[in-house]
Structure 1
């Protein structure tokens, strides 16, 4: 059996059976601190005795390297035949190790310790002091690292308990406000001399905080510097400027007068007495309640304050307004009381929201309420007639009968000639009023002199029918009535419109009725609405009614392959005499692009109304057109920059790309010139820009083609190379809202080819931004860096674009 032997930091194998224990030659108790240092060593740790002095120490318990760099307190030295050993306590166990595996650590001694009784302030400006519990730094094992950082208590007042020297530095023992005691480098403190408070006296004086040209602090613990707790303001007096307070105490601190003030929430603060002004409050006289009094808030050329607790300046809580009267201007109020303060009369008023305030009486137009003296329930139909410009409608009662009836809710003139149902009458101020409900279900009180009682002619016969009819006004002026034939109820005294708007249209008749000896028909029109009309304006017909109709706006293409659809100007086929036949057919416009402006259905099917490029519109069978997902015409808000004015005579591609990017909201942080400065450079336009966009050079082909242009543009937005796409495909991109950069020639002149080192390319190369497209008229709208904005035919554009091998870039 073999064991592990540790001698001079090395592990060797020995026979456990040797049983030759080393004797401890000498042993002494010590008190010193060492640092375990295992660089280049591998010492073992032995419990309770040095190595090889007992059977238990023939092998190591653990290795010293696990604790390399740790500080331990040595309690004993010993010497054996194997060398010198030290004993220390670690993790509640006593270990022995070779003394050469540790270095003695010397602590700074403490000297000149003096007890102090002073106050100080922690100052950590440009410092980073630590706080130590057990003594100054480096004076014991527990002071090798800080317990806290002093910056946490920067500017805080502390008690200075003692001073001492250690390591050539003066240290201070301090007590914080929370009771904890620490040592700190004395240079991180400023000794304070607190000021003495004298001449304290109790007072009870109203005052106002006045911080005009001042910035006083508020101190809860006492005047500034009168105690450690009053080194810093708890708040700033400016936040209370203009507020009323009560002075509770006065005191003198180093010839400076201070006042303790109580706020409305009962908090107490000390403030420099120069920051407040003592007040002499006004008194309230002749206060009395009022009855049946109302008024209207009038603030023309006024700006009155509203005060909750009394007239202005009569208490600390009335030094500032709780609200401004202008927010209630024109509102009716109930006047509850009056009072006098100084030379001003005040009124207590109650607003519509229930809040009560005192206001200067000059800001109220006082009115005497006129209570209702008689009241009666009625049930009569009437028409409003003779309303003048200023006759009012009152929702809450007759005028001046209560505080909510001081102002009209509307004007009677807007209901002139309309019928209503009267449900109440009342007398107020000697005037008779009626409560009337109009056909829109709104009810008001109105002067009874504006109403005329109407005799209703009820419906005597009613029959359900199901037929179509043609509206034939022929000089008539028939009205439309919603709730029944004219004058059959108070809601039918006024027409909802004129039948002439449906003249020559087919309608569906649902009911017929007799009222007042006249036959009436209930009709349903295309939008689904139903009206009662005089039957004499209708002619029974076999024409079809338009069952549904809706306005839309959609691009479409006429598709007549194998079809022969008719075109009808006045409406869908067979919906009127004018649409019974057609003389024009859709196949003559086959393939053309149009705009669908309406859709409709009839008994025969679905129909669309199309608008041609010349503005003419026709109805045709919906199956004869193909709706598009994009409009047939669109212009995008693409800016235009002149490349010559921008100082980029050969920068057309970059300028066009910038125009397209800005149209989509990209590159907003760049000016045009700054953007062009980011253009990638290369020796061939197939890889980047050749030369400089700001310098024209006849010996250099200054250009950049689609692939590198798209790659460059991708740094700023969603840009793709769409070279090879047809003009029609480019138009669809533009109609979808995307801007396109296309390669053409200057002024769309014929292509002038030239041979260069990188291939055959146009010598009159140019690029433009496509900013719009019109399918119906086969045109493109361009933003040209040379020629500005203009329309060009698709044919002219295609001739050059196609010849240039269809190079383009899209910004989406």
Structure 2
């Protein structure tokens, strides 16, 4: 183990898992067991391969199993009650001023706060019932949003949604509206603290990417396309926001299941924890590796037959591989979204040879959930929800004709 940080003053931590945790020695051998809400004295932080540890007088406990009690320096009551929204993908557990654990809060949960609390670890917010929420884990609604800039963006976009698109400032306030078919220049593509994709327009104004199509020039699509508009409006799960660089197929499947009102009790992490990993790491038999890691020699994906077998644990899904584009659009007319196997960024398919046979090295999966004339709408686990030309979608899809319909 490598020492990362030694606290100037010992800290108090509370055991978070309901099932308790383990304290081990430097070799990883069990020293003792702890119970839920046990209080521990923490003196330092150590790092080992794949794990970070807190040092206690008895030994070492996994950092993720402990919530540190903040060392409060200043408490300031807020003039008015404010609302915060959870930004941590896996949620977090608050801690009470009494030193006991608070509730577990999920991504996007909203909570009222009545005070700002400054500690040696940074800012916290206090709820009316005395629970402390770490400032880094929440967004104060109405405050300036922090955005992450994407590496590329189109020069211009066009609004596709028939009702138009709302323009918001960086505090989330509505500052304008763009009518359908409007073409506007773009300064950047960004994601917010919740992993949602936006296009930045002039003067710190933003429009949701899901309402738009990227243009290669200044020529837009005809307004008459709205006559055939149909969008199921599936949620978008940002796999990179969740730390899952290889989790596109599970994300697309869960988007579709949630759209059908299924497995609402499972978030992306809970769902992907149940993905069947193939014993031989063959994506035709199950997931070919680890969704959260790249391992040399493995192909981290799950192909249609195995995806359907897994998906049937939760709802009605069927393998419609071989379907034409017209047949896929027929699924949408029946209000059934479709997991479609395409390429990353809808780039030209690139074939390579692996231990299980040939496969696309730029394999990707998205949820097809909308049509408007010569445009289709997808919920893309990497690039967000958006519209794109049907011919561009077809180029990537037709390389394999792989698809899974969610009924």
TM-score by length of 2: 0.44
TM-score by length of 1: 0.22
Q: Work out which structure has the larger RCO, using CA pairs closer than 8 Å and 6 or more positions apart in sequence.
A: 2
- Structure exhibiting the larger radius of gyration computed from Cα positions: 1
